[in-house]
């Protein structure tokens, strides 16, 4: 059965894709309760940060605490300086010049206060630089660690997950959060610092004028509510437009990459791709612009209200100073405290709404980590039989891709004997590659079962199954690595075994390709990077076939392995393949009957079912689909 994925309360199993206009993920807006519950993502986020580097995280918090108290201390010392200056200015017979002031000792207190303020300024600058350094390092470590964890978790998921568009959207959102949420670390630590500073400033205001605290709250709460609302809207837009952003990335790469450049130029696709990208980007821009305009308008209104509150309080404090209730130093301290408190509270509340918004994005990251594969090893997994003794048995096997109405294969019942070379023949869409994926446990059957040496394939250790099965698909990957590494991916743990790599290259005819490369096995291949050398399709295919030889597997599967080779190279590859597969079990998919006729037995697939089976001569004698396809191909060479 297809998997079901939950997204904010909506369960879906659709394959994805929206026709017409920019792709959009439809989902009901997050409720206030869901937004608040998203704050539950912060503790695991902070635990992850702490685990990355406990000493650096603790040092950052300690420095932030010191920085939190410095503004209050600086402002209070400033008040004392002003009061001392006013006191000294009222002396009846002050000294005439600076040397006289210093000699009299009257300015000693003022000098001490000035040195204290200088020390506080130096300490603030030093703490700020250290905080920036530590948080930058922690943020980079967080991004790297989370990206590695993301790759590790993605590696555990099923092939089905990677072929589901909704999971791809979820993965894309998780990737963005792995790299983009590192700034949240500084925000959270900054918020903690601001809380300490606010408490210290508020204590001073309460001592002089408690009612100013109430005025502050009235001034900043509207701005906080507005910012929270617009942050939530911004997240919803980003969530729903994930498919559109993935399409933008696809168009950007397709329109300007070495892999597509030839065809784009030949077909003149530049204008089409650019126009499609521009239309999609303009649509996204229009949506974001509308939100930004609303946000700026309301934000300006709320800020103006806060400014009016500040100046009202400032005027009242000035009046109390004129009436003699407060000193000039008190005026400076209170007005400065009120202004700083107003800015800090506004920043704190707005920052809190931003943190809440970031917590929603963290939900994308952590919810991806909650995805679990269905194809896993059982707790009491059996070891893979090596060598295979009896072979594989398909018992009424059926499989349907997620979201598809048509069965890819159904009612498959046959035996793949140990040591047998079995060829699969059929038109495109007949189910050949699906059958191979089932053999390699990239998928599990929806109906029936596959037995290996009498036991269900699902009872064996999954990693062992994958390790003992060597598959080269027609759409094999061009890895932009060295030639040696491209071959070594067949058994990556043996990447340092140069003798094994060279032997695999000899068997696949890749050695002659590598011999022509400037740096031989150490040559970077593919044009993605500066020193890379591009190969032809046939040369790439020889490299890919070498991966199968490198694997030394019990079950070898080649899916259209010689499609890009000439007739001579194809003959030599299969001569050597026959030697490699001697005593091993092998499956071969090919449209070339000169290739499949060498197999011990041939299965003819049509519409996902087995239509006929036998040797080449037997199938030709049956005068069925196989004979028809063979005659059509043979006619092309007459």
How many Å apart are CA 571 and CA 580, to the nearest integer? 14
Exposed e or buried b per residue across 362-374, where buried means at least 16 C-beta atoms within 10 angstroms of its C-beta: bbbbbbbeebeee
Q: Compute the half-sphere exposure of residue 485: CA atoms within 13 Å on the CB side of its CA.
A: 11
pLDDT at 10 over 50: no
**Tokens linked to 467:** 């390790």
Q: In the prediction, which pLDDT does 28 show? A: 44
Q: In the prediction, which pLDDT does 634 show? A: 66
Q: In the prediction, which pLDDT does 454 show? A: 93
Asked if residues 205 and 334 have their Cβ atoms less than 8 Å apart, the reply is: yes
Mean pLDDT over 240-267 rounds to 72
pLDDT tens, 298-327?
A: 777 777 776 676 677 667 777 777 777 777
How many Å apart are CA 222 and CA 306, to the nearest integer? 9
How many Å apart are CA 375 and CA 3, to the nearest integer? 12
Alpha-carbon distances of 417 from 79, 226, 585, rounded to whole Å:
92, 70, 7
How many Å apart are CA 291 and CA 454, to the nearest integer? 62
pLDDT tens, 42-70?
A: 888 888 888 888 888 899 889 989 988 88
Mean pLDDT over 2-10 rounds to 40
Mean pLDDT over 95-108 rounds to 82
For CATH 1.20.1560.10, list the domain ranges present in the chain.
20-53+143-370
How many Å apart are CA 16 and CA 163, to the nearest integer? 10
Q: In the prediction, which pLDDT does 83 show? A: 83
| Between 65 and 575, residue with greater pLDDT | 65
Q: Compute the half-sphere exposure of residue 61: CA atoms within 13 Å on the CB side of its CA.
A: 11
For CATH 3.40.50.300, list the domain ranges present in the chain.
391-481+536-635
pLDDT at 4 over 50: no
**Residue 445 buriedness (CB in 10 A; 0-12 / 13-18 / 19+):** buried
Q: pLDDT category, 27, cuts 50, 70, 90?
A: very low
Least confident of 244-253, 300-309, 359-368: 300-309
Least confident of 195-209, 490-504, 524-538, 547-561: 195-209
Q: In the prediction, which pLDDT does 609 show? A: 92
How many Å apart are CA 364 and CA 341, to the nearest integer? 34
Asked if residues 188 and 356 have their Cβ atoms less than 8 Å apart, the reply is: no
Mean pLDDT over 364-390 rounds to 86
Mean pLDDT over 345-359 rounds to 69
The pairing of strands 447-452 and 455-456 is antiparallel
Report phi then psi at 15, rounded to 5: -75, -10
Start-to-end C-alpha separation, the chain: 48
Mean pLDDT over 433-450 rounds to 92
CATH T-level fold of 391-481+536-635: Rossmann fold (3.40.50)
Least confident of 262-266, 329-333, 567-571, 591-595: 262-266
Mean pLDDT over 189-203 rounds to 79
Q: In the prediction, which pLDDT does 557 show? A: 87
pTM for this entry? 0.63
Asked if residues 546 and 507 have their Cβ atoms less than 8 Å apart, the reply is: yes
DSSP 400: -
DSSP string, 558-615: EESTTTTS-HHHHHHHHHHHHHHTTTSEEEEE-S-HHHHTTSSEEEEEETTEEEEEE-
How many Å apart are CA 397 and CA 410, to the nearest integer? 6
Mean pLDDT over 451-476 rounds to 88
Q: Which of 516, 522, 518 is nearest to 481 (CA)?
A: 522
pLDDT at 406 over 80: yes
Q: In the prediction, which pLDDT does 14 show? A: 34
CATH architecture of 20-53+143-370: Up-down Bundle (1.20)
Most confident of 195-199, 478-482, 576-580: 478-482
In total, the chain counts a number of residues equal to: 638
Q: In the prediction, which pLDDT does 416 show? A: 94
**Tokens linked to 55:** 């000493």
CA angle, 562 as apex, 426 and 162 as ends, to 5°?
70
Q: What element of type H or E holds 455?
A: strand 455-456
Exposed e or buried b per residue across 6-38, where buried means at least 16 C-beta atoms within 10 angstroms of its C-beta: ebbeeebeeeeeeeeebbbbeeeebeeeebeeb
pLDDT at 329 over 50: yes
Mean pLDDT over 458-469 rounds to 89
Average pLDDT, the chain: 79
**Cα 262 from chain centroid (whole Å):** 30
Exposed e or buried b per residue across 534-545, where buried means at least 16 C-beta atoms within 10 angstroms of its C-beta: ebeebbbbbbbb
Q: What element of type H or E holds 99?
A: helix 98-104
Q: In the prediction, which pLDDT does 411 show? A: 93
pLDDT tens, 259-296?
A: 676 567 666 777 878 888 888 888 888 888 888 888 78
Q: In the prediction, which pLDDT does 2 show? A: 43
Q: Which of 56, 117, 131 is nearest to 81 (CA)?
A: 117
Asked if residues 231 and 353 have their Cβ atoms less than 8 Å apart, the reply is: yes
DSSP string, 422-445: EEEE-STTSSHHHHHHHHTTSS--
Q: In the prediction, which pLDDT does 439 show? A: 92
**Tokens linked to 393:** 């048995």
| Between 338 and 549, residue with greater pLDDT | 549
User: Hunting for tokens 């017979």 — which residue is that?
Assistant: 93
Alpha-carbon distances of 184 from 42, 319, 345, 357, 363, rounded to whole Å:
10, 43, 19, 10, 13
Exposed e or buried b per residue across 253-266, where buried means at least 16 C-beta atoms within 10 angstroms of its C-beta: ebbeeeeeeeebee
How many Å apart are CA 576 and CA 144, to the nearest integer? 44
């Amino acid at each position: 059965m297809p998997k079901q994925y939950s997204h904010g309360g909506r369960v879906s199993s659709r394959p994805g894709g929206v026709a017409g206009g920019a792709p959009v993920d439809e989902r009901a807006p997050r409720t206030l309760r869901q937004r608040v519950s998203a704050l539950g993502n912060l503790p695991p986020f902070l635990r992850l940060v702490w685990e990355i580097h406990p000493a650096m995280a603790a040092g950052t918090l300690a420095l932030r605490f010191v920085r939190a108290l410095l503004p209050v201390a600086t402002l209070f010392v400033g008040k004392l300086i002003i009061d001392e200056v006013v006191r000294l200015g009222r002396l009846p017979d002050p000294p005439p010049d600076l040397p006289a002031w210093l000699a009299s000792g009257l300015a000693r207190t003022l000098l001490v206060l000035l040195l204290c303020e200088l020390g506080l300024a130096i300490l603030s600058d030093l703490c700020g630089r250290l905080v920036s350094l530590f948080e930058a390092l922690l943020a980079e470590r967080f991004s790297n660690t989370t990206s590695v964890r993301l790759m590790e978790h993605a590696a555990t998921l099923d092939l089905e997950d990677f072929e589901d568009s909704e999971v791809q959207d979820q993965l894309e959102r998780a990737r963005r959060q792995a790299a983009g949420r590192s700034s949240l670390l500084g925000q959270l630590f900054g918020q903690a610092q601001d809380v300490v500073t606010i408490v210290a400033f508020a204590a001073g205001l309460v001592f002089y004028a408690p009612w100013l605290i109430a005025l502050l709250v009235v001034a900043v709460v509207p701005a906080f509510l507005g910012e929270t609302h617009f942050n939530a809207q911004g997240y919803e837009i980003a969530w729903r437009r994930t498919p559109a952003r993935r399409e933008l990335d696809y168009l950007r790469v397709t329109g300007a990459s070495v892999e597509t450049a030839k065809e784009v130029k030949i077909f003149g696709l530049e204008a089409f791709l650019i126009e499609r990208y521009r239309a999609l980007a303009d649509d996204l821009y229009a949506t974001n612009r509308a939100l930004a305009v609303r946000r700026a308008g309301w934000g300006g209104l709320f800020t103006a209200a806060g400014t009016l509150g500040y100046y009202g309080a400032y005027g009242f404090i000035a009046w109390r100073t004129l009436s003699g209730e407060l000193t000039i130093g008190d005026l400076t301290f209170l007005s400065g405290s009120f202004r700083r408190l107003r800015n800090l509270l506004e920043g704190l509340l707005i920052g809190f709404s931003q943190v809440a918004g970031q917590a929603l994005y963290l939900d994308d990251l952590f919810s991806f980590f909650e995805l679990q594969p269905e194809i896993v090893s059982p707790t009491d997994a059996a070891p893979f039989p090596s060598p295979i003794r009896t072979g594989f048995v398909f018992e009424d096997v059926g499989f349907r891709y997620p979201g598809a109405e048509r069965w890819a294969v159904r009612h498959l019942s046959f035996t793949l004997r140990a040591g047998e070379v079995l060829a699969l023949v059929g038109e495109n869409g007949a189910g050949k590659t699906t059958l191979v994926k089932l053999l390699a446990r990239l998928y599990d059957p929806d109906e029936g079962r596959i037995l290996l040496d009498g036991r269900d394939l699902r009872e064996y250790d999954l990693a062992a199954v994958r390790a003992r099965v060597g598959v080269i698909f027609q759409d094999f990957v061009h890895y932009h690595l060295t030639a040696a590494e491209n071959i070594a991916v067949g058994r990556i743990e043996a990447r340092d075994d140069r003798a094994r790599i060279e032997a695999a290259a000899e068997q696949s005819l890749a050695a002659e390709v590598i011999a022509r490369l400037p740096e031989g096995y150490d040559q970077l291949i593919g044009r993605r990077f500066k020193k890379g050398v591009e190969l032809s399709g046939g040369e790439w295919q020889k490299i890919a076939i070498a991966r199968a030889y490198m694997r030394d597997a019990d079950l070898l599967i080649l899916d259209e392995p010689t499609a890009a080779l000439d007739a001579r190279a194809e003959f030599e590859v299969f001569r050597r393949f026959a030697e490699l597969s001697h005593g091993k079990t092998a499956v071969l998919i090919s449209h070339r009957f000169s290739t499949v006729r060498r197999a011990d037995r041939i299965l003819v697939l049509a519409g996902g079912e087995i239509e006929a089976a036998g040797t080449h001569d037997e199938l030709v004698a049956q005068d069925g689909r196989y004979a028809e396809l063979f005659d059509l191909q043979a006619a092309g060479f007459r």
